[in-house]
Amino acid sequence: MFTRFLSAMLLAAIVAPLAMSAELKVDPNQDWYGKTPDNALKKLAPESGFINDGEQFKKLWNAWRPDEALPNVDFDKQVVLIGIVDGPNRVMLRPSLKENDIQFIAAGTRMAGPGFAYRLVAVNKGDAQSVNGKPITASQSGEGSIEVTVIGKIESGLVAIGGETTGTTITASGITWELELGENAEFRKLAEELSGKQAKVVGSLERRSGVEVKVRYIVTVEKLTAAN
The amino acid present at 73, given as its one-letter code, is: V
| Domains within the chain, CATH numbers bracketed | 21-135 (no CATH), 146-226 (2.40.50.500)
Report, as an integer, the average pLDDT of 117-145: 78
7 — pLDDT class (breaks 50, 70, 90): very low
- Condensed to tens digits (0 to 9), the pLDDT of residues 200-224 reads 999 888 777 666 777 788 888 989 9
Q: What is the pTM of this model?
A: 0.54
- Condensed to tens digits (0 to 9), the pLDDT of residues 154-191 reads 999 887 665 678 889 999 988 999 998 887 889 999 99
Is the separation of the CB atoms in 154 and 181 below 8 Å? no
Is the separation of the CB atoms in 155 and 73 below 8 Å? no
Q: Considering just the CA atoms, what is the radius of gyration of the chain in Å?
A: 21
Report the run of H or E that residue 130 belongs to, with start and end.
strand 130-131
